[in-house]
Amino acid sequence: MEEDVKLDGNEGDHITTAKLDRKISVSEFSCHCCYDILVNPTTLNCGHSFCRHCLALWWVSSKKTECPECRNTWEGFPKVNILLRDVIEKLFPDAIQQKYKDVEGNHEIIHALQAFNNYGNEQNQTSTGMQGNQPRGGGFFSGVLTALTSVAVVLLVYHWSSRESEQDLLVHKPVAKWTAEEVVLWLEQLGPWASHYKDLFLSGRVNGRLLITLAEEEFSKNPYSIENSSHKKAILMELDRVKTLGVKPPQNLWEYKAVNPGKSLFLLYALKSSPRLSMLYLYLFDYAETFLPFIHTTCPLQEEQKEQEEDLFAKFIDLQDPTWRQWREFLVKYVFLPYQLIAEFAWDWLELHYWTSRFIIVNAMLLTVLESFSFWNLWSRRELKNLPQLMWRHFWNMSTHGIFVAIFWPVIPQFVCNCFFYWALYFNPIINIDLVVKEIRRLETQVV
């Protein structure tokens, strides 16, 4: 398509028509995306101009606010260059009319322009809200983020101000040095039924040194008088664990963090970034201590497989190898819903860690949504063929980072470890809410 225009001066001009006998072609006003005449030319900050629909198609496909030619990032939202548009329409009216017809008949271009304009409206609303005295546009989600941030700060202050000194925790203190009160504290954590024997142990002044010398037949005598065989069996099984470890085994999130500060921080971030690889790590390198309790909690035995007295020994069931039914349930969730496993594990600790468990459950739900958006983006962009390459790159990055952290976590200062731990636990869910909202808004403007 070539149109030549001859610039003729008016009779009253100082320069004669002969001196302006120069022809201007369409190629001088062509778009560097479609290499056709510019339609609604849009000029970016870098100075390059493109057809508005070409810029919209580029933005939809790349999701980048970059110039298609020089890759410089443009600020704000690009506007049509009115002066350039009017000049082109006057010089090449026939070519412009034909191009307008082609654009209006292309549904892909129409959808792209609509999405691009919606994005522009959002940018304008954001900038307008920032310039006003009272920012707007946050609405419901802004209030949710503010409320959750306040709760997270309160929880953080509570844990830092009221938690016990780690030197006083039974998971650090040798059992031989336990006082009678600490023995009772250990006993109460076996379950609600153990509170019936609290006064008996206190009256006998059973400290840690005496506790590890007690034999099975002594629990049936005064001052203990434990006649229930199930209760006696539970106490003896837990006592054997204490004797073997020399300290109280960790039984909740805070005790596990106190014993393994670096590992708990590593697992918290690894489960968020790559839950499947993290669970594989637990299976390979932390099977008995962490993986078995995890799989027994998230994929428990069926009711018909349990005996009535097994409720007292739930923690000891965690030390047994899973059944094939548990493995089957676990593998299905592991492949398709790994974050659901984390949520189910946190749900089991609701009574003990009321708000913390809820933060973990909400975060797991948000991470599931973000993972679904990631797969949807790969599907919509027809990039599923690149999935093996992306998975290998992700595996390599996680492995190298994991090895690096594993080497240095024993020397991480406790204060630094606590800062990162509580940030990941209480503030990451708030950040993920914002990410989900942005993905939803982006989906609304995405070309179907």
Over residues 150-189, the pLDDT tens digits come to 766 666 666 555 554 444 578 888 888 888 888 888 888 7
Q: At what angle do helices 275-285 and 324-336 cross, to 10 degrees?
A: 150
**At 225, which CATH number?**
1.10.150.50
Say if residue 14's pLDDT is above 80.
Answer: no
Contacts (Cβ under 8 Å, ≥6 apart) of 188: 194, 195, 198
Residue range 363-385, pLDDT digits in tens = 999 999 999 988 887 887 777 78
**At 90, which CATH number?**
3.30.40.10
Statement to judge: residues 187 and 261 lie in one domain: no
For residue 338, cis peptide bond before it (omega within 30 degrees of 0): no
Q: Give the strand pairing for 23-24 and 49-51.
A: unpaired
User: Does residue 156 belong to any structural domain of this protein?
Assistant: no
Statement to judge: residues 199 and 259 lie in one domain: no
**What is the span of the domain harbouring residue 81?**
5-131
Tell me how crowded residue 311 is: count the other CB atoms within 10 A of its CB. 12
* Residue located via tokens 């240095």: 408
Q: What is the residue-wise DSSP string for 50-113?
A: EEHHHHHHHHHHH---B-TTT-PBPPS---B-HHHHHHHHHH-HHHHHHHHHHHHT-HHHHHHH
Among 229, 245, 261, the domain-final residue is 245
Angle at 259 between CA 249 and CA 184, to 5 degrees: 40
Statement to judge: residues 326 and 424 lie in one domain: yes
Residue range 190-226, pLDDT digits in tens = 777 787 888 888 888 888 888 888 888 888 777 777 8
Among 82, 109, 131, the domain-final residue is 131
Q: Is the dihedral of CA 68, 72, 76, 79 positive or negative?
A: negative
Statement to judge: residues 41 and 183 lie in one domain: no
Statement to judge: residues 217 and 309 lie in one domain: no
- 3-class state of residue 145 by DSSP: helix
User: Does residue 162 belong to any structural domain of this protein?
Assistant: no
Residue range 380-421, pLDDT digits in tens = 777 778 788 888 888 888 888 878 877 877 777 777 777 788
Q: What is the pTM of this model?
A: 0.59
Share of the chain above pLDDT 90, in %: 7
Statement to judge: residues 107 and 23 lie in one domain: yes
Tokens of 295: 């799989």
Q: Are 46 and 74 in contact (CB under 8 A)?
A: yes
User: Does residue 223 belong to any structural domain of this protein?
Assistant: yes
Strand partners, 41: 51
Q: What is the pLDDT at residue 7?
A: 46
Statement to judge: residues 369 and 313 lie in one domain: yes
Tell me how crowded residue 37 is: count the other CB atoms within 10 A of its CB. 22
Q: Are 321 and 310 in contact (CB under 8 A)?
A: no
Return d(Cα 164, Cα 170) in angstroms, integer.
11
For the chain, what is the domain count?
3
Among 245, 270, 287, the domain-final residue is 245
Residues 83-91 have a mean pLDDT of 87
User: Does residue 221 belong to any structural domain of this protein?
Assistant: yes
Statement to judge: residues 291 and 223 lie in one domain: no
Statement to judge: residues 92 and 61 lie in one domain: yes
Q: Are 366 and 242 in contact (CB under 8 A)?
A: no
The confidence band for 328, taking pLDDT boundaries of 50, 70 and 90, is very high
Statement to judge: residues 203 and 92 lie in one domain: no
Return d(Cα 42, Cα 33) in angstroms, integer.
12
Statement to judge: residues 207 and 257 lie in one domain: no
Statement to judge: residues 40 and 110 lie in one domain: yes
**What mean pLDDT value characterizes the chain?**
77
Q: What is the pLDDT at residue 155?
A: 64
User: Does residue 163 belong to any structural domain of this protein?
Assistant: no
Q: What is the DSSP letter of 301?
A: P
Say if residue 127's pLDDT is above 60.
Answer: no
User: Does residue 376 belong to any structural domain of this protein?
Assistant: yes
User: Does residue 362 belong to any structural domain of this protein?
Assistant: yes
283 conformational bin, left if phi > 0, alpha if psi -120 to 50, beta if neither: alpha
Return d(Cα 71, Cα 197) in angstroms, integer.
73
Return d(Cα 65, Cα 399) in angstroms, integer.
32
User: Does residue 91 belong to any structural domain of this protein?
Assistant: yes
332, 331, 352, 356: which is closest to 343 by C-alpha?
356
Q: Is the dihedral of CA 172, 178, 183, 185 positive or negative?
A: negative
